Amino acid sequence: MSGPEADLSGWSSTPFTGGGYTHDVYRKGSGPGVVLIPEIPGIHPGVLGLGNHLVDNGFTVAIPSLFGEPGKAVSAGYMAATISRACVAREFAAMATDKQRPVAQFLRALARDLNASTPGKGVGVIGQCFTGGFALAAAVDDSVLAPVLSQPSVPLPLTPAQRRDPGLSESELRVVADRCANDGLCAMGLRFSEDKMAPRERFATLKQRLGDAFAVIEIDSSPGNADGFSRMAHSVLTDEVREVDGQAAYEARKRVAEFLTDRLSQ
């Protein structure tokens, strides 16, 4: 059993260029804008299911196709091939600490463009897994009012320094922290308690730097947890969602929609 899934029905695609990169962007909906950055291996049916959920909650959703084949189902081979290419791409700098990743420039440009064509004073950005931290890096731009980091996994947490690293450069983090302290910016982070790919140390760094402006949702995935999550549970907003009231990932997805509604309707 997997989380809610969908296909590309109703999504329009156009290329977008920003920060020296061009990617197709899939768009659907009306209302305030949300940039939904896909997780590895790409715009898979679970990401589209999340996108449709956001559309149903009154948002215009833009999904950049940064890797993979849009609409293609997840498989072990597809995952392995995509992550091997993504990990060596300069655009993502998957292993580097204290790094300004080139993809952040593209995402900031996309956020500004989406903001210009949607109602409200700004947009939300959701990053997941490999792209989780990219959402916070996008918030260097004033157009981003609601960054959501779901299981942020870059830099890949192989060393203590990588586990502590917030996923963006110190100069970028200073800008975000200043926006939190002085402009009312708020961010949300989500992870499973036993998820080694989205390490607790990374969340501790972000909490230390952003304080109360960083709201954390940590879902219990320890042995014997109430929802039966595996210790390998990872994708909070896609794979692990079961649309049953009270299920922790389902409730977390509701809280994300509420956070976006609250922040983008001001």
pLDDT digits 0-9 by tens, 127-158: 999 999 999 999 999 999 999 999 999 999 99
The full set of domain ranges for the chain reads: 12-264
Mean pLDDT by 10 residues, the chain (266 residues): 92 97 98 97 98 98 98 96 95 96 98 96 97 98 98 97 98 98 97 98 98 98 97 97 97 98 89
Amino acid (1-letter code) at residue 151: Q
| Strand residues in 129-193 grouped as ranges (E) | 144-150, 187-192
SS3 14: strand
Contact status, residue 37 vs residue 83, Cβ threshold 8 Å = no
pLDDT tens column, 214-241: 999 999 999 999 999 999 999 999 999 9
Contact status, residue 116 vs residue 18, Cβ threshold 8 Å = no
Question: What tokens were used for 220?
Answer: 């219990």
Phi, psi of 254 (to 5 degrees): -60, -45
Report helix angle 248-264 to 45-56, nearest 10.
50
Contact status, residue 133 vs residue 154, Cβ threshold 8 Å = yes
Contact status, residue 124 vs residue 144, Cβ threshold 8 Å = yes
CA distances to 6, 49, 124, 199 from 190, rounded to whole Å, are 23, 18, 15, 11
pLDDT of residue 265: 86
CA atoms within 13 A on the CB side of 66: 31
Contact status, residue 97 vs residue 161, Cβ threshold 8 Å = yes
Phi, psi of 105 (to 5 degrees): -65, -40
User: What's the CATH code, domain 12-264?
Assistant: 3.40.50.1820
SS3 23: strand
pLDDT of residue 266: 63
Q: How far is CA 121 from the centre of its chain?
A: 20
Helices (H) and strands (E) in the chain, counts: 8, 8
Identify the sign of the CA torsion 259, 2, 72, 39: positive
Question: What tokens were used for 32?
Answer: 């305030």
Identify the sign of the CA torsion 2, 232, 134, 254: positive
Amino acid (1-letter code) at residue 120: G
Mark out the alpha helices in 35-154 (DSSP H runs).
Answer: 45-56, 76-88, 102-116, 134-138
CA distances to 94, 103, 111, 134 from 117, rounded to whole Å, are 31, 22, 10, 22
